[in-house]
Amino acid sequence: MPLPLPIHCAQLFYDGRCSLCAREMAFLRKHKSNRLVLTDIHHLLQINEGERERFLLELHLLQPDGTWLRGVDATVAAWSFTAFGFLVRPLRWPLVAPLVDKLYRRWAQNRYCKLYRTCHIKET
């Protein structure tokens, strides 16, 4: 899928219609380095509806090397571009990560259902 990719930058794709997400992005925008680009999914014209829905279901981060991170991994990577990255790193600790991932997926699915009045929830 062709997406705008600044060279040597990570790109975080977020749902600008989600008020909690928008507040977090405002904070990130204020404190991030210039190596992180924040992109509202609703401003992407070059993706189809299926791709847009996939992006809206959970946070996505495209790393400079072309690899993708999703969910909590994307969040932790995005915050690593701020001075506050150390605060979220524990979310990836081996004993904590499975629970955090499960909670994030449930929150993200509920957020999507409430905002878009449709649910495509898959239990994992």
30 within some domain: yes
4 within some domain: no
64 within some domain: yes
Alpha-carbon distance 118 to 44, whole Å? Answer: 21
pLDDT in tens, 63-98: 999 999 999 999 999 999 999 999 999 999 999 999
Helix or strand or coil: residue 68? strand
123 within some domain: no
Q: What is the reported pLDDT for 124?
A: 46
1 within some domain: no
Look up the domain containing 58 and give its range.
Answer: 10-116
**Number of folded domains that form the chain:** 1
Q: What is the mean pLDDT of each run of 10 residues along the chain (124 residues)?
A: 65 94 96 96 90 93 96 98 97 98 96 82 50
84 within some domain: yes
85 within some domain: yes
